[in-house]
Amino acid sequence: MSTASAEQLRRFIAGVYGRVGVPADQAAAVADLMTQADLIGSDGHGVFRLPQYVRRIRAGGMNPRATPHLVQDHPAAALVDGDNGLGHLATSLAARPAIEKARTQGVAWCGVRNGNHAGPANLYARMVQEAGMIGLYLAVGSANHMPPWGGLELLLSTNPIAVAVPAEDEPPIVLDMATTVAAYGKVKVKAQRGETMPEGWMIDRTGAPLTDPKRSAEGLLLPIGGYKGYGLSLIFGLLAGTLNGAAMGRDVVDFNADDTSVTNTGQAILAINIEAFGDAAGFRRNVDRLSREIRESERLPGVERIWLPGEQSRLTRLKRETDGVPIPQALRATLDRLADEVGAPRLA
C-alpha cells in the first residue's frame, strides 16, 4: 500500500476544493482538519470523504462559498450558522467563542446549525484542550441508522461525543465515541473485507442478530448498553441538533444517499476553563496520576496493555507523521479520478 505525507494530503485536498469554488483560506483550513483525521487513524473521516463532499458541492447540496457566522451571542453561549458550507468551517468557528468566552466566564457553550458533516468528533474537543481547557463536543450524525430502543424506524443516528482533558506530562485524555456499538463506517469496512460482524452490532427487522455486513441495508445499528445508548443518542441529538434549530429525528438527511438536500447538521462545543475551579496545574498533575494508576493497574489474563482514551490514536498519529498515511489502491484510484474530473493535481 502506498502512503501520502500530511503535507501531500493537505495540498491535494486544498487543490481539489479550490477547483470546485471553495476560497483558498477555507480550502486550506478544511484540508488541514481532514488530514488530521487521517493522521489519527480516523480513515473514514479524512481524504476518504473528499469525493463525497465534492459530489455534494457540485450537486448543489453544499455551499462552497459559505460564510459561517454568529447568530446568537451571549456572555457564555453562542450559536453559529454554518451557511450550509463544509461542516469543518462552522465547527472550527464555534470552538473560538467557546474558548474565548470560557476564559472570562469560566465555562461557555457554542452550538452550530446549518452545518454539515465535520469529520471526527475529537478534532473539535481537542481544539479546546489545546487552549488549556476541557473540551466537549456533541454532534448529530449525518444519517439515521438506529431505531429508538424497541423500535424499527431509523429515527436516530450514531450521535457521537468527544471530550478532551489536558494533562501535564501524560498525553491528554481524549474520548471519541459513537452512541452505537459500531459506527456505520465500521460496518462498511467489514463488508469490503468480506468479514462477518460480531453479534451485538446490528439486528434485522425481526430483532434477530445480523452478522452479514452485506445485508446492512436491512439492518438496524444497536445502541451501547441497550436503552442507555438510545437515551444518550437522543439527548446528544437534542443538545447538538434541536437546541440549535438543526435537524434531528425524522428531519435528518441521509447524506450518503442524498447529495442535494440541505442537511442542516447540528453540533455543539463546550469549553471548561479549569482555572475557574482551582489550580489548573494541580488538576493536570492529578490527571497524570490517574492516567498512570489506570495504565499500571492489574490486568485481566491475556490483556497486554490498558489503554487510556485517545492513546491509540495518538500513537497512530506519531507513526503516520513519520511514515505517512496509508492510501489503499482503490482509494488512490478514486482520488485520481476525482482530481482529473475537477482538473486538480493528483495526490503525489
Contacts of 341 (CB under 8 A, 6+ apart): none
The distance of closest approach from Cβ of residue 270 to its own copies in the complex, given in angstroms and rounded to an integer, is: 8
**CA–CA gap between residue 306 and residue 295 (Å, rounded):** 5
The distance of closest approach from Cβ of residue 182 to its own copies in the complex, given in angstroms and rounded to an integer, is: 10
Interacting positions 64-103 with its own copies (CB under 8 A): 72, 74-79, 101-102
Residue 9 is which amino acid? L
Interacting positions 3-42 with its own copies (CB under 8 A): none
Residue 28 or 107: the one with the smaller Cβ distance to its own copies is: 107
The distance of closest approach from Cβ of residue 235 to its own copies in the complex, given in angstroms and rounded to an integer, is: 5
Residues touching its own copies: how many (CB under 8 A)?
80
What stretch of H or E contains 294?
A: helix 280-295
Residue 141 interacts with its own copies (CB under 8 A)? Answer: no
Residue 200 or 345: the one with the smaller Cβ distance to its own copies is: 200
Residue 194 or 278: the one with the smaller Cβ distance to its own copies is: 278
Residue 249 interacts with its own copies (CB under 8 A)? Answer: yes
Residue 67 or 312: the one with the smaller Cβ distance to its own copies is: 312
Site track for its own copies across 263-292, x = CB under 8 A: -------x-xxx-xxx---xx--xx-xx--
The distance of closest approach from Cβ of residue 316 to its own copies in the complex, given in angstroms and rounded to an integer, is: 16
**CA–CA gap between residue 264 and residue 81 (Å, rounded):** 9
Contacts of 315 (CB under 8 A, 6+ apart): none
Residue 165 interacts with its own copies (CB under 8 A)? Answer: yes
Coil, strand, or helix at residue 181?
Answer: coil
Site track for its own copies across 202-241, x = CB under 8 A: ---xxx----------------xxxxxx-xx-xx--xx--
Looking at residue 332, the DSSP 8-state letter turns out to be H
The distance of closest approach from Cβ of residue 122 to its own copies in the complex, given in angstroms and rounded to an integer, is: 11
Residue 12 or 137: the one with the smaller Cβ distance to its own copies is: 137
Among 22, 29, 57, 134, interactor with its own copies by CB under 8 A: 134
Q: What are 325's strand-pairing partners?
A: 4
Q: Single out the residue of 69, 22, 308, 321 nearest to residue 165, CA to CA.
A: 308
Site track for its own copies across 292-321, x = CB under 8 A: -xx--xxxxxxx-xxxxx------------
Interacting positions 326-345 with its own copies (CB under 8 A): none
**CA–CA gap between residue 209 and residue 199 (Å, rounded):** 6
**In contact, 102 and 228? CB cutoff 8 Å:** no
Phi, psi of 313 (to 5 degrees): -70, -25
What interhelical angle do 311-323 and 24-39 show, nearest 10?
110
Residue 51 or 132: the one with the smaller Cβ distance to its own copies is: 132
How far are the Cα atoms of 54, 299, 302 from residue 296, in angstroms, in the given order? Answer: 46, 9, 15
HSE-up (13 A, CA, CB side) for residue 88: 25
